[in-house]
Amino acid sequence: MYVHFWDWESLVKEVMDALHNLIVQGKVLYLGISDAPAWVVAQANSYAEFHGKTPFVIYQGQWNVLERSFEREIISMARSPSTRPMGSRWRGKFRSDEEDKQRSLRPSKSDSEEIKGHSVWGSWERTEDEIKVSHALEEVANEIGANSLRAVAIAYILHKAPYVFPIIRGRKPEHLVSNLEALDITLSEEHIKFLEGIGDGTKPQGITASAFNVQKMPPPAPLPVFRLNSQGEGEGAQRQ
């Protein structure tokens, strides 16, 4: 059972107590958590372990070549739990320019709906960043002789950490074939560095970007330093 989207209001203690009750009742076997900050998971598991409750054993979140914020804290935090990354193929947006052209010229019924409509995941059309990543994946695929650049995208996250079990979707037999090809791909350190040189994963993506607006706030100003002058009066000076 997964806890999706931390609500920022519930107390960690209350959540973990309630989840543990489900375990005791036999309704749930294992607990997972999705799209939550690393500090929330660490606090929750620490509380569970110190109070005889059931901890989270797996973390689910967005992770791919373009969205790499997962690597900053989640991987280090989840050395004990396993990871279940979503979006390794970025919902089909990692594709070659030729595939993009063919899909636009002769879309199937389902593709046509994607082209015209928008969803929680955004438009069918690729952004500039998605095109750059697609080109990089295609270059690596050509270099190693892979048939699919999407297989390279899956192989990337499998090379980054142990106990990674990606969620991979597909609607056609060729999707399944390209997914399985990832298991036979070996990327060098040079390939990894090349792919990671495309983006830094700092922009909110996918469902996170659609759920709320992210406004980065400037850091707090330095605190003033107060000193006493020779007359014993306070003087404020800005700390440099």
Is residue 35 very low, low, confident or very high in pLDDT (cuts 50, 70, 90)? confident
Bridge partner residues of 164 (DSSP): 83
Is residue 237 very low, low, confident or very high in pLDDT (cuts 50, 70, 90)? very low
The rounded percent of the chain whose pLDDT value lies above 70 is 63
Cβ within 8 Å of residue 199, ≥6 positions away: 65, 66, 68, 129, 132, 133
Is residue 22 very low, low, confident or very high in pLDDT (cuts 50, 70, 90)? very high
Mean pLDDT of 167-175: 77
Mean pLDDT of 8-33: 94
Is residue 165 very low, low, confident or very high in pLDDT (cuts 50, 70, 90)? confident
Tokens of 3: 């806890």
pLDDT recorded at residue 115? 44
Tokens of 127: 């952004």
* Pair 84, 60: CB distance under 8 Å: yes
* Pair 48, 16: CB distance under 8 Å: yes
pLDDT recorded at residue 208? 57
- Name the more confident of 96 and 33: 33
pLDDT recorded at residue 2? 92
Residue 42 has pLDDT above 80, yes or no: yes
Q: What are phi and psi of 56, to 5 degrees?
A: -75, 140
Residue 47 has pLDDT above 90, yes or no: yes
Please state, in angstroms and as integers, the Cα–Cα distance from residue 110 to each residue in 94, 113, 223, following that order.
18, 5, 57
Residue 117 has pLDDT above 50, yes or no: no
Secondary structure of 68-101 in HEC code, one letter for each residue:
CCHHHHHHHHCCCCEEEEECCCHHHCCCCHHHHH
Closest CA to 65 of 212, 196, 213, 238: 196
Residue 122 has pLDDT above 60, yes or no: no
Do the strands 122-123 and 118-119 form a parallel or antiparallel pair, or are they unpaired?
Answer: antiparallel
pLDDT recorded at residue 46? 92
* Pair 90, 80: CB distance under 8 Å: no
At 49, the amino acid letter reads: E
Global confidence as pTM: 0.57
The rounded percent of the chain whose pLDDT value lies above 90 is 20
Tokens of 233: 């009066």
Q: What is the pLDDT of residues 177-229, one digit of tens each?
A: 888 888 888 899 899 888 888 755 555 555 556 666 666 666 565 555 455 56
User: DSSP string covering 105-146, please?
Assistant: HS--HHHHHHHH-EETTEESSPPHHHHHHHHHHHHHHHHHT-
Mean pLDDT of 162-181: 80
DSSP state of 182: G
Mean pLDDT of the chain: 76
